[in-house]
Amino acid sequence: MTADFDRIALFGSFIAKNYAVDILRVLYTYQDVSASEAASRLGLHINTVQEFLEAMHKTGVAIREEVYEKKRPYFRYKLASENITIEINLQDLFGDNKTSDMSVLKIREKANSSATFNRAKHNPYFSSVGIFIGTGRDRREKRINLTNAQGAFLYNLPFPDGQFKSIGEIMQTAQIDPELLPEITDIARLLVEYAVIESG
């Protein structure tokens, strides 16, 4: 099943049901079947079976055909294939997160951000950063654990009163492998979003 992520998520939510194997067995065994026939065969509520079969139709696992009985329409279902393969193309899902060049973006720590940078013991990098979210009684700390590369990057981030530096320059100073740019860009974007880092 090559599909977008929403369809795969729908399939996953239904395939996890405790009756999923039983309904799939009926679909596999019968040439085609209606929801009422499958429900009767399995002793399940017809709405339960109908919802499952519709989900299988939406995800491409089952084919649905409208038929008429005494001028009353209803659907019959059959498997589209005896083999169900799920394929998630992460490049399609996440776009150009890895290929966009953010190395030229100039940044520095934002003044009065109230974020806390926690230094790793005996190492020149940060292990985590704490961001305070909300106000008053709803104020809470969101702690983000950092990779070693992210920790080294933030350790070398210019201070609020310092000169803006590009992400590439900071990575070079911190001796971070250029191949790790995607994960550096990810933490930089997040901290810009939370107003811990500013761009200039």
- Supply the CATH number for residue 40's domain: 1.10.10.10
With respect to residue 176, please indicate whether it lies within any of the assigned structural domains. Answer: yes
The number of C-alpha atoms within 13 Å of 98 and in the hemisphere containing its C-beta is 7
Alpha-carbon separation of residue 145 from 108, 148, 175, 177, 181 (angstroms): 20, 10, 20, 20, 17
With respect to residue 149, please indicate whether it lies within any of the assigned structural domains. Answer: yes
Percent of the chain past pLDDT 90, that is, above it, reads 70
* 114 shares a domain with 29: no
Q: Which residue has the higher pLDDT, 174 or 85?
A: 174
* 47 shares a domain with 104: no
The residue-averaged pLDDT of 73-102 equals 80
- Which residues 6+ apart lie within 8 Å of 180 measured at CB? 149, 171
* 101 shares a domain with 30: no
* 151 shares a domain with 72: no
* 106 shares a domain with 162: yes
Q: With a cut of 90, say whether residue 175 has pLDDT above it.
A: yes
* 134 shares a domain with 54: no
* 108 shares a domain with 161: yes
Give the pLDDT confidence score for residue 103 in this predicted structure.
82
3-state secondary structure 121-180: CCCCCEEEEEEEECCHHHCEEEEEECCHHHHHHHHCCCCCCCCCEEHHHHHHHCCCCHHH
Contact 77, 56 (CB under 8 A): yes
Give the pLDDT confidence score for residue 95 in this predicted structure.
66
The residue-averaged pLDDT of 71-100 equals 80
The residue-averaged pLDDT of 84-93 equals 79
* 54 shares a domain with 102: no
Q: With a cut of 90, say whether residue 57 has pLDDT above it.
A: yes
**Confidence at 72, pLDDT banded by 50, 70, 90:** confident
Among 79, 111, 132, give the residue marking a domain's end. 79
Q: How many domains does the chain have?
A: 2
* β-bridge partners, 199: 107
* 106 shares a domain with 31: no
* 183 shares a domain with 112: yes
Give the pLDDT confidence score for residue 48 in this predicted structure.
97
Among 25, 46, 79, give the residue marking a domain's end. 79
Q: Which residue has the higher pLDDT, 84 or 49?
A: 49
Q: With a cut of 90, say whether residue 28 has pLDDT above it.
A: yes
Give the pLDDT confidence score for residue 91 in this predicted structure.
75
- Taking alpha carbons only, the member of 120, 109, 82, 71 closest to residue 191 is 109
- Phi-psi label, residue 112: left if phi above 0, alpha if psi -120 to 50, beta otherwise: left
Q: With a cut of 80, say whether residue 97 has pLDDT above it.
A: no
* 188 shares a domain with 111: yes
Domain around 12: 5-79
